[in-house]
C-alpha cells in the first residue's frame, strides 16, 4: 500500500506540541486591525487547542500514525 502524503495546507495551519496535542491559530486576525481594539488583537494572538472531535481528521491529514 502506498504511503499517505501530508496535506501541505493542513501542515501550515496546525502544529503539534511536544505532548502530542494539536494547536491552531485563531480566526479573525488577518487584516483590518487599524480600527479594532488592541486588547482584541492580543487576545486573538494566542494559539488555541483543536477541538477534540476534529483531532482524528487532522492527524490523518498530517499523515500521523
Q: What CATH number is associated with residue 38?
A: 4.10.410.60
Q: According to the model, what pLDDT value does residue 35 have?
A: 86
- Would residue 33 count as lying in a domain? yes
Total number of domains in the chain: 1
Q: How would residue 64 be classed by pLDDT, with cut points 50, 70 and 90?
A: low
Q: Are 49 and 61 in contact (CB under 8 A)?
A: no
- Would residue 1 count as lying in a domain? no
Q: How would residue 23 be classed by pLDDT, with cut points 50, 70 and 90?
A: very high
- For residues 64 and 21, which has the higher predicted lDDT (pLDDT)? 21
Query: CA-CA distance, 63 to 65, in Å (whole number)?
Result: 7
Query: CA-CA distance, 16 to 33, in Å (whole number)?
Result: 28
Residue 27 CB-half CA count within 13 A: 1
- Would residue 46 count as lying in a domain? yes
Residue 45 CB-half CA count within 13 A: 8
53: pLDDT strictly greater than 70: yes
- Would residue 47 count as lying in a domain? yes
- Would residue 2 count as lying in a domain? no
Task: Give the other-Cβ count within 10 Å of 22's Cβ.
Answer: 21
- For residues 54 and 65, which has the higher predicted lDDT (pLDDT)? 54
Calculate the average pLDDT of the chain: 91
Domain holding 38, by residue range, is: 8-61
Amino acid at each position: 500500500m502506498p504511503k499517505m502524503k501530508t496535506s501541505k495546507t493542513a501542515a501550515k495551519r496546525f502544529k503539534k506540541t511536544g505532548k502530542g496535542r494539536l494547536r491552531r491559530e485563531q480566526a479573525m486576525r488577518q487584516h483590518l486591525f487599524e480600527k479594532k481594539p488592541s486588547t482584541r488583537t492580543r487576545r486573538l494572538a494566542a494559539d488555541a487547542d483543536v477541538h477534540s472531535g476534529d483531532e482524528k481528521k487532522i492527524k490523518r491529514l498530517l499523515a500521523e500514525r
